[in-house]
Amino acid sequence: MLHKYLFTTTWKIQAPLKQVWDAVYYSEEWPTWWKDFVSVTEIEKGDENSIGSIRVYKLKSPFIYTLSFNLLLIKREDHAYLEGNATGELEGVGAWRFTEHAGITEVTCTWHVATNIKWMNALAFLLKPVFRYNHGIVMKHGARSLAARLNAPLIEVRLG
């Protein structure tokens, strides 16, 4: 039985929207600054706006397990919105929304996914809070690392 998860994370960084967008959009570079990502590899280019592109994400969680999934980009509004369909060990939809107000860029990442890993599904009744906590750690690492990469103050990380 698949277990579904809804994760929403908001980052507020005092940095220009374009810089934040570029750092998130060019995810092949994530492993150079986001320690939880082992690799991000583009295996399909997509069209001139990258719609239809597929990237393979491999990450190692702080709790020692790994996840691998493909993300097919299905929507892109420059400097505003990205959405992709995940397949593999995670299955579902991930989206990033970007806004800027008074020099502070707000990024909201939403994942509505299910796991396809047998042991995770078998132990979800017990470990679901641990998986949620783990996701929060990964996203906090991402926010702190992005702020450091941009040499910008991290204003807030909100987990939901």
Contacts of 156 (CB under 8 A, 6+ apart): 10, 11, 12
> What are 69-98's pLDDT values in tens digits?
999 999 999 999 999 999 999 999 999 999
Task: Render pLDDT for 20-69 as a digit per residue (tens, 0 to 9).
Answer: 999 999 999 999 999 999 999 999 999 999 999 999 999 998 888 899 99
Domain of 46, in residue numbers: 4-159
Phi, psi of 153 (to 5 degrees): -70, 135
SS3 116: coil
- Residue 41 belongs to domain with CATH number: 3.30.530.20
SS3 content of the chain, % helix, strand, coil (to 5): 30, 45, 25
By the 8 A CB rule, do 69 and 85 touch? Answer: no
Domains identified in the chain, total number: 1
Is the Cβ–Cβ distance between 90 and 5 less than 8 Å? Answer: no
Token pair belonging to 72: 């097919």
How many Å apart are CA 91 and CA 111, to the nearest integer? 10
